Amino acid sequence: MSLEARLVVERAAFTLDLALDVRAGEVVALLGPNGAGKTTALRALAGLTRLSGGHVTLRGRPLHTLPAESRPIGMVFQDYLLFPHLSALDNVAFGLRCQGMSKTDARAAAAGLLERVGLAARAGARPRQLSGGQAQRVALARALAVRPELLLLDEPLAALDAHTRLEIRSQLRRHLADFDGVTVLVTHDPLDAMVLADRLIVIEHGAVVQQGAPAEVARRPRTDYVARLVGLNLYRGVAGGGRVEVGELLLHTSEPATDGAAFVAFPPAAVALYRTRPDGSPRNLWQARIGGIERHGDNVRVHLDGPVTAFADITPAALADLDLTPGQRIWASVKATETHAYPA
Amino acid sequence: MVPAVLGLVFLVLPLVGLLVRAPWSTLPARLTEPQVLEALRLSLITATVATVLCLSLGVPLAWLLARVEFPGRRVVRALVTVPLVLPPVVGGVALLLVLGRRGLVGEWLEAGFGITLPFTTAGVVVAEAFVAMPFLVISVEGALRAADRRFEEAAATLGASRWTVFRRVTLPMVMPGVVAGAVLCWARALGEFGATITFAGNFPGTTRTMPLAVYLALETDPEAAIVLSLVLLAVSVVILASLRDRWVSAP
């Protein structure tokens, strides 16, 4: 393990208590809602926020006893914090100058880094003359310039518009793949986390609620927050005899769940809606009331109240056929093959 | 409406009077009289040196007040602004008591280093700096408080020591505030009268600055007083114009 840390920071609203083990070359994303403590954790790693307890060890060396300027870190801030009075080149050269490199050498090295992020032509520009995407790349180059062992990224794509974000995300992924140190990034965007990270750590109220590979987290969410992020209906129930009891509902699942407390998850698109009780009585059928209807991408998302609250995604054509209105009572069913159960 | 116009007239009329009564025909000759040039030169030099002194002491003081949490900080901040409201003559008396030949520090300065401040050009600088420094400190402290401290954090994550952060990030970012403060400080030092005449006296060539010369000329040669006043007025207008965007025009 290259980074090994336990971060305890007391805040008025919550206490952050987080254990981290990250290998060199690995990218870990801290994912969580606003105010969950993600940025606090990152600042604690950087030495910008004092730990109330715990430790930070990088390659066997304690970091938590060092001030921020002595830690072998590079940090990219949410709004980049490029020094407004310095050119892009001098921003990137700043850290090297602090390490005692001569102005000429630092600028030459910085020019090389700017070239790597594709901004050689903008070396002389001041930060306010850069576009959002360019500023993001300068910020990354500035953080990488000091050859950090620990790279910290705070919402690195949050300040970008959708189009730029797409492009910068894939570039950032490439740079992170090239980086051989430990990377910890903070985001509230599940897509950023899935694309950029090898492992997700989901934090709510200062504590880890779930962690694992992105695919694993996406398939088997363990909290409502994660389920919403990855777009699944999630229920907690009790498994027995190959079925899971959720409230008054008995759900058949694709694989038999082990007896005991269990989660059941299914995608909104797996839910079928009927005006009248369907013939042949499929499994996993229940009567629901329509709570609301909204546009969702190319489809329509129907909010269902009833024995369980659920989202159902149907096509606009289906919506027209069914002639649905809020408050109406309808039948809903979900295929067992698309319903997954796993131990809680 | 009427009180507002009266207020404006009250403020502007004296300046108009100065312009109307100015001896325009003899102005060039007047301005090049040796006593005028001497007083002007002394004023410019002492005000500039006083400003440099204020910068070297006032900027660290402003940083301390803005950035370091310490007990009694509010009291210290209040103390810093005392020279702003203190009658300058009282300031001069206070300086005499401390830095005079029999003063608390002055005695020791003279005995130990052979330095005498009262009634010297250095004394003028001290008096001017005492009165003008609060302008600089308040301006710089305001700029430091308004500056986004996260830039300093960003610099720290790049390995910058406290001093490097200050020199390469903080100071450049608050530079407009420092410049504005220094200009105000310089203008205040240039116009200093009460503390200067009390602490440094009124000796031509060494301590007789422009304001002192104006006061003195008023008794003997009113025209000369008007000429000297015009010079000071011109300096004020230039400063006002140069700071227009930053200070004078309200948002």
Q: Is the Cβ of A150 closer than 8 Å to some Cβ of chain B?
A: no
Residue A30 binned pLDDT confidence (cut-offs 50, 70, 90): very high
Paired strand residues for A294: A301
In terms of Cβ atoms closer than 10 Å to its own Cβ (0-12, 13-18, 19+), residue A27 is: buried
Pairwise CB contact (< 8 Å): A98 & B153: no
Q: Which of residues 55-94 of A touch B (CB under 8 A)?
A: 67-71, 73-75, 77, 81, 83-85, 94
Q: What is the 3-state secondary structure (H, E, C) of chain A?
A: CCEEEEEEEECCCCEEEEEEEECCCCEEEEECCCCCCHHHHHHHHHCCCCCCEEEEEECCEECCCCCHHHCCEEEECCCCCCCCCCCHHHHHHHHHHHCCCCHHHHHHHHHHHHHHCCCHHHCCCCHHHCCHHHHHHHHHHHHHHCCCCEEEEECCCCCCCHHHHHHHHHHHHHHHHHCCCEEEEEECCHHHHHHHCCEEEEEECCEEEEEECHHHHHHCCCCHHHHHHHCCEEEEEEEECCEEEECCEEEECCCCCCCEEEEEEECHHHEEEECCCCCCCCCCEEEEEEEEEEEECCEEEEEEECCCCEEEEECHHHHHHHCCCCCCEEEEEECHHHCEEEEC
Place of tokens 């200062």: A206
CATH code: domain of residue A201: 3.40.50.300
Q: Which of A205, A225, A245 is the last residue of a domain?
A: A225
How far is it, in rounded angstroms, from Cα A266 to Cα B130?
76
Give the Cβ contact number of residue A212 at 10 Å: 15
Mean pLDDT of chain A: 90
A73, A94, A113, A152, best to mutate vs chain B, most B CBs in 10 Å? A94
Neighbours of B108 (CB within 10 A): 11
Domains, in order of start, for chain B: 44-207 (1.10.3720.10)
Contact across the interface for B154 and A77, Cβ inside 8 Å: yes
Of B33 and A1, the one with more pLDDT: B33
Q: Kindly give, in sequence order, each residue whose CB lies less than 8 Å from that of residue B171, ignoring residues fewer than 6 positions away.
A: B59, B178
pLDDT of A218-237, one tens digit each? 889 999 999 988 889 999 98
Which pLDDT score, from 0 to 100, does residue B249 have?
A: 42
Residue type, B77: R
A218 shares a domain with A254? no
pLDDT, one tens digit per residue, over A118-130 is 999 999 999 999 9
A278-282, A294-298, B132-136 — which is least confidently predicted? A278-282
Residue pair A293/A302 in contact by the 8 Å Cβ criterion: yes
pLDDT tens readout for residues A75-92: 999 999 999 999 999 999
Local structure of residue B1 (DSSP, 8 states): -
Using the Cβ of A103 and the Cβ atoms of chain B, whether some distance falls under 8 Å is answered with: no
| Phi, psi at A326, each rounded to 5° | -60, 140
pLDDT at residue A1, as a whole number: 52
d(CA B147, CA B168): 14
Buried b (16+ CB within 10 A) or exposed e, A296-317: eeebbbbbbebebebbbbbeee
Q: What pLDDT sits at residue B248? A: 45
Direct distance between the N- and C-terminal alpha carbons of chain B, in angstroms, rounded to an integer: 23
d(CA B47, CA B124): 9
Domain termination site, one of A200, A225, A250:
A225
Are both A64 and A153 inside the same structural domain? yes
- The separation between CA B168 and the C-alpha centre of its own chain, rounded to angstroms, equals 27
What integer pLDDT is reported at residue A80 of this predicted model? Answer: 94
State the Cα–Cα distance between residues A22 and A30, nearest whole angstrom: 12
Quick check: A24 pLDDT over 60?
Answer: yes
DSSP state of B100: S
Instruction: Find, among A64, A24, A20, the residue nearest to A46 by Cα.
Output: A64
Mutate to test the interface with A, among B157, B161, B179 (most CBs of A within 10 A): B157
Residue type, B182: A
Residues A213 and A236 in one domain: no
Once rounded to an integer, what is the mean pLDDT over residues A267-289?
86
Looking at the complex, does the CB of residue B159 fall below 8 Å from at least one CB of chain A? Answer: yes
Whether the per-residue pLDDT at A36 is higher than 70: the answer is yes
Question: Are A290 and A330 in contact, with CB atoms under 8 Å apart?
Answer: yes
CA angle B137, B186, B203 (to 5 degrees): 120
Residue B243 scores a pLDDT above 80: no
Among A42, A98, A142, A155, most B C-beta atoms within 10 A, so best to mutate, is A98
Provide the CATH number for the domain around residue A332.
2.40.50.100
Same domain, A72 and A155: yes
Query: Chain B neighbours among A 116-145 (CB < 8 Å)?
Result: 142-143
Per-residue confidence (pLDDT) for residue B45, from 0 to 100: 93
Q: Is B172 on the interface with A (CB under 8 A)?
A: yes
Task: Give the best residue of A81, A86, A128 to mutate against chain B (max B CB count within 10 A).
Answer: A81
Indicate the pLDDT class of residue B246, thresholds 50, 70 and 90. Answer: low
Residues A164-193 have pLDDT tens digits of: 898 899 999 999 999 999 999 999 888 899
Select from B151, B168, B175 the Cβ nearest to the Cβ of A81. Answer: B151
Task: Tell me: pLDDT of B201 over 70.
Answer: yes
The DSSP 8-state label assigned to residue B103 in this structure reads S
Phi, psi of A208 (to 5 degrees): -75, 125
CB spacing of B169 vs A83 below 8 angstroms = yes
Residues A269, A149: one domain?
no
Q: What is the mean pLDDT of residues B165-186?
A: 92
- A25 and A76, same domain (yes or no): yes
pLDDT at B1 over 70: yes
Q: Do B169 and A146 touch (CB under 8 A)?
A: no
For residues A254 and A139, membership in a common domain is answered with: no
Inter-residue contact B184 to B243 (CB < 8 Å): yes
Q: Which residues pair with B70 in a beta bridge?
A: none
A69, B168: Cβ pair inside 8 Å?
Answer: no
User: Do A249 and A169 have their domain in common?
Assistant: no
pLDDT at B60 over 70: yes
Which of B158, B169, B175 is closest, CB to CB, to A146? B158
A98 with B173: Cβ contact below 8 A: no
Please say if the pLDDT value at position A267 is more than 60: yes
What is the chain A residue with the closest CA to B153? A48
- Chain B closest CA to A67's CA: distance in Å? 9
Give the pairing type, strands A182-187 and A150-154: parallel
The whole-number pLDDT of residue B23 equals 84
Residue B250: pLDDT band with limits 50, 70, 90: very low
Cβ-contact B212, B193 below 8 angstroms: yes
My answer on whether A168 and A142 are in the same domain is yes
B22, B23, B29, B35: CA torsion to nearest 10 = -60
| B200-216 b/e (C-beta count within 10 Å ≥ 16 → b) | bbeeeebbbbbbbbbeb
| A15-22 β-sheet, strand order | A61-62, A53-58, A3-10, A15-22, A207-212, A199-204, A27-31, A182-187, A150-154, A73-76
Range of the domain at A119: 3-225
A173: tokens are 């992924």
Which distant-in-sequence residues (6+ apart) come within 8 Å of A329 by Cβ? Answer: A287, A288, A289, A290
**Does residue A58 sit in the same domain as residue A87?**
yes
Would the CB atoms of B155 and A47 count as touching at under 8 Å? no
Any A CB within 8 A of B147 CB: no
Whether residues A85 and B173 touch (CB distance < 8 A) is answered with yes
Q: Is B249 helix (H, G, I), strand (E, B) or coil?
A: coil
Is the CB of residue B161 less than 8 Å away from at least one CB of chain A?
yes
CB A187 within 8 A of CB A203: no
Mean pLDDT value of segment B213-217: 88
Asked if A127 and A91 count as a contact pair (C-beta separation under 8 A), the reply is yes
Mark whether A187 and A250 lie in a shared domain.
no
- Between A260 and B144, the more confident residue is B144
Same domain, A200 and A74: yes
Residues of B in contact with A48 (CB under 8 A): 153, 156-157
Token duo for residue A188:
């509230």
Please write the tens of the pLDDT for every residue from B66-118: 988 899 999 999 999 888 889 999 999 999 999 988 888 888 888 888 888 88
pLDDT score for B22: 84
Tell me the β-bridge partners of A239.
A244, A260
Q: How many structural domains are present in chain A? A: 2
Q: Inter-chain contact B157–A98, Cβ cutoff 8 Å?
A: no
Rg (CA), chain B: 21
Residue A265 has pLDDT above 50, yes or no: yes
Q: What pLDDT shows up at residue A307?
A: 86
Q: Which of A185, A205, A225 is at the close of a domain? A: A225
- DSSP H or E stretch at residue B226: helix B222-242
Predicted confidence (pLDDT) at residue A254 exceeds the cutoff of 50:
yes
